[in-house]
Structures are given as structure tokens and as C-alpha cells.
Structure 1
Amino acid sequence: MLKQRITTALVLGVILLAALFALPLEWFTWLSLLVFGYGAFEWSKLAEISSKLVQYSYAACAVVIGACVYQFYLEGNLWTLTGELSDKNYNLMFIACIWWALSSFLVLVYPRGNRVWQHQKRVKAVFGYLTLIPAWIALVSLREWHYLLDQNSGAWLALFVFGIVWSADIGAYFAGKRFGSHKLMPNVSPGKTIEGFIGGMVAVVILAIVVQWQNNVDAADWLIPTICCVVIGVISAFGDLSESMLKRDAGMKDSGTIFPGHGGLLDRIDSLTAAMPVFLILFTHFY
């Protein structure tokens, strides 16, 4: 199983790097929207929508809403000329952060707080749009950062966010396997441990320090960026736990079967959907 997971992860990594660094921005924007549309299709199952027609309609609506938000609300303006988030984009990311604060609260109080949304298809469908659409806008925003100055600067920025999430995930996996004995949130995800969570955060700290050292950042200035990276690591864990909570409520082990050894698309991007909007807000304030 581990060999299969590693093989799939390597293939996905190559595809991701090619998409980030080789695709023109416009191609990346709209192809990634279709990918998130497939994520919405998987989410429809988390929402316990059984009709195939409604599942496809839900996914199509996610694509249309995402395109409308990008074209008509944001008007394609994600950044200002000075490299800051546009006001409308900032507001959207702020709303996403509020959603993730609420989602994290629902995870913390589960199962006591699930009466409002348990088996409520419409409520969980709205949860999906609140999760996926801002996450897609955040991904495109990362990719577009300083695009006119350097077409790859945004790709590196996006890759850094992915690196934070992957470090937290990999560190948690191996630390949990080696040292895990105390359950983190057994009602939500019985396999996750406190030791694994700590191991993930240690991995994030190491990544943050290495990246700053490689970019010749003065050691005296490492603290705030490192703390921000840890915050991203923590919220990415809640992104994972949030999907686990919904899967448990729907009686599902994985969101899908598209990736051998990894489950569905949502199983791969759940942490990222939480991390990217929060990263953009922190990046705006502390960069």
C-alpha cells in the first residue's frame, strides 16, 4: 500500500509541476477550475446526494459559480499593481477564513454540534461551495502573483504552500506511525494522533527555516514567517479533519477512488482548500 501511495504521489507531483510551471496562466486558470469541478462532484457524495443527475448538476454549478465570481465579481483582478490582493479578492479570502474558523469549530465539537447539518443535503452542499470556490480562486491568485514581472514567481509561491501542507502531512504520517499513541480526535478521525500532529508541525518548522535560509533571509527575521507557516500547517490539518468529519457522517471511507492508494481528489486537496485562503491573508499582512 505504501509503495502504491508513493508511486501515485510521484505521478501527481510531476503533473502538478508541469501544470504550475509549463501551462500558460489562462490555461492553468480554467483547467484548474475543471479539476475543482470534479472535486465538487465528489463533494456531492459527501452531501449524500444520490441522484447522478443532481451530482453532475452540483458540479456544473460549482464551475459556473467559480467562473462568475472570477469574471464578474473579481473582474479577473486578483492583485493590485503593487503586489497586494485586490480589495474584492481580500474580502473573498476573508470570508473563506471565517468559513474555516466555523468549520474548525464544528470539527472540535463533533459530534455534539452536527445536529444542524447532519444528513442535511442542502447545508452540506453549501459547505462544498464555501470550501471549493474560494480555494480555487486562492490557487489562481497564488499562480498569478507577480506574473507580469516573472511568470514563475507565482508558481514558486504556490509550490511553497503545497510544501507546507505536504510537510505537515508527511511529518504527521511518519511521526504517527513511529510514536503515535494518543488519539487526536477519535470521534472524527481515529487514525490521527497527537504525536503525529506534533511531528507534522515540526516538519513545517524545518521547511520554513530551510526555505528562509535558502533565500538568504536574516535569521533574526525567521520567527514571524515560521509562525505563519505553523498556522498554515494547523489550518491544513483542520481542512483534513473537516472532510473526515463529513465522510464519517456520510458513512464513507474515501471521497472517491480516482487515485490508487490515495482515494479521491478531495482526499488529496482537503488540506489545501483550507491552507490556501488563509495563506493569502497572512501573506498580504506579513510579506
Structure 2
Amino acid sequence: MLKQRLITAAILIPSIISAVLFLPTKVFSWLLVFVIAIGAWEWAGLIRIQTIRGRLFYAIAVLLLLWVSCFLPLVFILVTSVIWWSICALLLMRWSKKRPYHPIIATFTIGIIAGVLVLIPTWQAIISLHSLPVIGPKWVLFLFILVWLADSAAYIVGRKFGHTRLAPALSPGKTWEGVYGAIIASLLFSFIGSEVFELSGDIWWVFWGLGLLTILFSIIGDLLESLFKRISAVKDSGYLLPGHGGVLDRVDSLTAASPVFALGIWVLERLQ
């Protein structure tokens, strides 16, 4: 398993970095559409759509709604997404320690809506960052590395020092010590980012706060997918990535982190 994870990561990470930095935004956006389509297919499985026809229909519906979302104001999409994830945070805090979850969360309709709110703002957020003049791709790469580092720090610190479970009813392996490790990693990398992007002294602390908030939301994204996997009684969202599970298993943190980060950058651009 570890060997598979390392091989997959060795292929994925350079490929993702190259795509972010060197592909034009139009090409990158279509690549991300493909990722969203796979994510929608996997989400259909999490909400117990078993047939190929049903999953395909759901994926196509998500892509159609993605197209419709392109005609909506970006800020409306990002703010709506942040509100959605804030509500999720409150509910997950309530359900983190014990079951049963509220019956409504397991309903088919809620699952369908949740998938749309998880996937579409992710695409909008990442593409809005990538399309920014000159440094857009660097913002996307910063976001990706920030989340990757925080995930790695949470895993390493959690395994070494973790003993206080974060959400035993949702994801027993996650610990508060791991969260603290992720927070420290995010603050350190945000400091590096404030230097690289030459942010003025008046707003560097806002950028630090944005990095911290982004990571806290990334944890919510991870836990929400864990909730739906628990409800569906599956270990992984898919099997596309050997050793890692499905695409959703790799981007669950980004689904909540990217709208928060993109909205924060939108605000920072107007403060400078």
C-alpha cells in the first residue's frame, strides 16, 4: 500500500504542478472540468447511486450546473460556498463524537444537493485564481501546497503525538494534535507566501489569517466526505488512484479550502 501511494504521488505531484504553472487558463479549466466530472461520478456512489446510467446522469447534471454557474457573479458563488461550509462545520461538530447522525443527512435529496455545493464552487474558485493576471497560477500552486503541507503535517504529528480524537464518529484516525500540526505548518507556509508575493506590511497578518482559515475549512471538507463514506459504508470514494482511493479522497480538503482562499484573495486584492 505504501509503495503504491508513493508511486502515485510521484506521478501526480509533478503533473499537477506542471499543469498549474504551464497550461493556459482555458486549457487548465477544461482539465479541471474532467476532474469535477470524475468527482461527480464518485459522489454519486457515495449517495448510493449504483447504476452506471444513474452515475453518468448525475455527473452530466453537475457539469450542466457548472456551466450555468459561469453566468453567476463569482462573489455570490464564493460567499454561498463559505456559508455552506460554515453550516457543515456546525453540523459536523455536533455529530463528531457520537452517532446517530440526523436522518435528513442520509436522504437522497440532501446527498444530491451536497455534491453540487461541494464540487461546483471548487472549480469556480480555482479557475478564478488561475485567471488572475501574472501571478494567478502561483496563487493556485500556493493553495495546493498549503493544503498538501497541512495534510502531511496533520498525518505526521497525529501519528507521532496524537491521542485526542478529533471526530471519532466520523474519522477515528484524526486527532487534535494533528490539527495543531496542520495549523503550525499553515502559518509557517503563509509567512513564506507573504514574502514571495511581496504583500504590504499592513495586510500580511490578514494573509496569515487567511492561511489559517483555509486550513480549518480544509479539515471540514475532509470530515464531510468522511461522513458520507460512513453513511454509505465505504472506505474510499473510488479506486482510480492506487494507494489513495478515488479523486474525491485526494481533493476533499480542497473542496472546502479553495472557495475560502479564493474569496480571501478577492478581498486582499481590494485592500492593497
Which blocks of at least 5 consecutive residues in structure 1 are unaligned?
75-87
1:112-123 paired onto structure 2 within 5 Å: 113-118=101-106, 120-123=107-110
Alignment partners' CA distance in 1, 2:260 and 2:196 = 24
Report the TM-score, using the length of structure 1 for normalisation. Answer: 0.88
Secondary structure in 1 matching 2:103: coil
Secondary structure in 2 matching 1:253: coil
- What percent of counterpart residues are identical? 34
In the other structure, the counterpart of 1:141 is: 128
Count of equivalent residues: 266
1:85-96 paired onto structure 2 within 5 Å: 88-96=73-81
Are residues 63 and 222 of structure 1, via their aligned partners in 2, closer, same or farther at CA, if it must alter by over 3 Å?
A: same
Alignment partners' CA distance in 1, 2:263 and 2:203 = 19
How far apart are 1:214 and its partner, in Å?
3.9
Deviations 1:95-117 (A, max 9, x none): 11111112212211224552112
Deviations 1:71-102 (A, max 9, x none): xx14xxxxxxxxxxxxx110111111111112
How far apart are 1:212 and its partner, in Å?
2.2
Does structure 1 retain, via aligned residues, the 8 Å contact 2:239–2:245?
yes
* 2:118 is aligned with 1:131: yes
Alignment partners' CA distance in 2, 1:62 and 1:247 = 20
Alignment partners' CA distance in 2, 1:6 and 1:220 = 41
Report the TM-score, using the length of structure 2 for normalisation. Answer: 0.92
- Choose from 176, 182, 185 the match for 2:164: 182
* 2:43 is aligned with 1:43: yes
Does structure 2 retain, via aligned residues, the 8 Å contact 1:49–1:121?
no
In the other structure, the counterpart of 2:213 is: 231
In the other structure, the counterpart of 1:264 is: 246
Q: Which amino acid aligns with 1:114?
A: H
How far apart are 1:286 and its partner, in Å?
2.8
In the other structure, the counterpart of 1:105 is: 90
Alignment partners' CA distance in 1, 2:128 and 2:192 = 24
Which blocks of at least 5 consecutive residues in structure 2 are unaligned?
none
Alignment partners' CA distance in 2, 1:102 and 1:235 = 11
Alignment partners' CA distance in 2, 1:142 and 1:247 = 30
Alignment partners' CA distance in 2, 1:136 and 1:67 = 11
Deviations 1:147-176 (A, max 9, x none): xxx3xx211010111122111101101001
In the other structure, the counterpart of 1:67 is: 67
In angstroms, what is the RMSD of aligned CA positions?
Answer: 1.6
Alignment partners' CA distance in 2, 1:138 and 1:240 = 18
Alignment partners' CA distance in 2, 1:217 and 1:32 = 29
Alignment partners' CA distance in 2, 1:228 and 1:204 = 10
Alignment partners' CA distance in 1, 2:76 and 2:196 = 33
Alignment partners' CA distance in 2, 1:139 and 1:131 = 13
How far apart are 1:218 and its partner, in Å?
6.2
* 2:269 is aligned with 1:284: no
